[in-house]
Structure 1
Amino acid sequence: MIDPYSLLRPWLFCLDPEQAHNLTLSNLDRAQRWSLLERFITKPIADPQTLCGITFPNPVGLAAGLDKDGKHIDALAALGFGFLEIGTVTPKPQPGNPKPRMFRLTEAQAIINRMGFNNDGVDACVARVHRSHFWQKGGVLGMNIGKNASTPIEEAASDYILGMEAVYEIATYITVNISSPNTQHLRALQGEEMLRSLLSSLDEARKRLSDRYGIRKPMFLKIAPDLDTDDINLIADLLLEFGIDAVIATNTTIARDAVLGMAHGGEAGGLSGAPLQAVSNQIIKTLKARLGNSLPIIGVGGILSGADAREKIMAGASLVQIYSGLIYKGPELVNACARALRYP
């Protein structure tokens, strides 16, 4: 069977990346409503994985960032993902950074973005989740929360608590994003003093919400790849101290060694795609050495093939997530990764 995306990609790559992104998702919605996706998308493979009290139908998930507002949940679920992560959402709506803010580096199979948590606000996203068939049928849906750009970093905890309160009832798990390079000073939250304070505040908030709803929702932390071993070990220790349920490794990188001299290689923002593969794998290995089997790792960064997904698992991850690989390889990447993990 001819892969439709292989025919569409050259045309999409002639468009501005953000325009192509929005157009692709809109057309994916139409295809899902018209029951066209089932004709072209390989049936999702069943390979259940249970961790943090959640059963994931297969170990391949959608990384946060692709569907920031929960506008395309049902269409994305139809691609065969074992779980979806929506966001990053912030308490108040915000436009994000000025355009252009997304760039393809085709030679490197990479993307640079400086979107800046553009979203309609957490309440609008929660309303969309409620309307989605995927959520109504019990699909595994992670909600990724962040702080508004206008909120001082010293008051970041208040935004994360607001986000947690808003998504708690509908989220299968909640991811705390402190690692995007596109919100000023956000990565400072990965330092010991600020991270300890933030995790303590979130732990107390989760206890209150657990009592209110009668259920303890898993909380994950997403970290940056631009950390040294001491930083990673410190974060790992704090994750255990405050009962964080899993760690997502990693977000995009600010390093540019792999794309020096390429068109757009010097653009500000986070670099994702193939150049991130080895970097994120090393972070996963370092986390695994520190954490052992005490806390699961979700591997993300540079997965463009089933073999790449296997490398994440071999490095120490229990699940994987993809985003940039979809841009370069199309929807069939989901099942390619799922099959590679089911039949290594």
Structure 2
Amino acid sequence: MDIVRRYAILDTPPDGAFDRVTAIAARLLDTPIAIVSIVDTDRIWFKSHHGLDANQIPRSSGLCASAILQSGPWLVTDARHDPRTLANPLVVGELGLQFYLGVPLHTHDGFNLGTLCVLDRKPRTATQEQIDTLTDLASVVMDQLELRLSAMRSIAEKEAALNHSQLMAEEIDHRVMNSLQLIVSMLSIQSAQLGSSEAANEISRAAAKIFAVANVHQHMHVGKAVTTLDCADYLIRLCAGLSTMLSSGDQAVISVEAVPLTLASEQISRIGLIVNELVTNALKYGASKVHVHLAPFQHQYRLTVSDNGRGLPADFDVDKMSGLGMKVITTLVKNLGGTLSHGPDAHFNGTAFQMIFSPILSRAIPSG
């Protein structure tokens, strides 16, 4: 029964595609019952059962178990007088089946999974045209099963490729962190060797900056094992690292005010990239203070990054900017399903960028 397991069809929910086939089969062959059956080790399970309430029967009593042993259609016109079926519980029992026509569901590599069959409680015959019709419908059922198998394999291959890429990303991340830490160690040793000179102080400051870069890099990376994070805690840690890296002296130029908000890790990482770009741009173009604010907004949330810089040009248009930074920001906002706006900031007398977005806890976010 490994072949049956390969198709992962047993005990799956009802499916309209198969239900339509059995309804058509019953109508075209004028029978009260039509079934798509899958023959398991000890049972015959019905993927679709038009005109019959049962979901499965024991394999020992099923006519389909005999039908799948055939290479073509299996026809019983009067089960009460057919030596193959006259003692069958479905024939002599309460159901009283007397007519059976079943066509094996034949896989592309030569195995029979089950049948498409039609049944009646009275004896009858079947024309060759009716047999051919049921055979064609059985091919439709098998095409559906093969298509679903192909889709499952495609998904499995993509998941394997994604897992491989995640492993590669983690390996690269690990190597980057190790390299940054190695540089910090080498600069610290060089500074110690130079004693208390001005060069030693400059090297020490450079080591501190690189250490901050490593710290920010660590905050930006979200491992695949983490599914959700608190956005407020994440923004505080991220901006603390950015403040250390980008500010002069010990002055903290980046402040954060955020409500607790649990988000999917994919959404968190994109928000982190947006904040990183906006904060870096603000300080690069003359701001000395930046404020990051996250709060509810109607039925969504609003992320605001404000600064005390000189403001934007009068003709500033996000969509017409040629710089990579703004393109990254707009792409990330789009992938988050959010909207981006900008304008003067009343409190800091500079610029404020606002993103309105909806929280996402479980569904996949499209890649950029």
Same fold (TM > 0.5): no
- TM-score calculated relative to the size of structure 1: 0.24
Question: When you count strand as a share of all residues, which structure comes out higher?
Answer: 2
Q: What TM-score, normalized by structure 2, do the two folds share?
A: 0.23
Relative contact order (alpha carbons < 8 A, sep ≥ 6): 1 or 2 greater?
A: 1
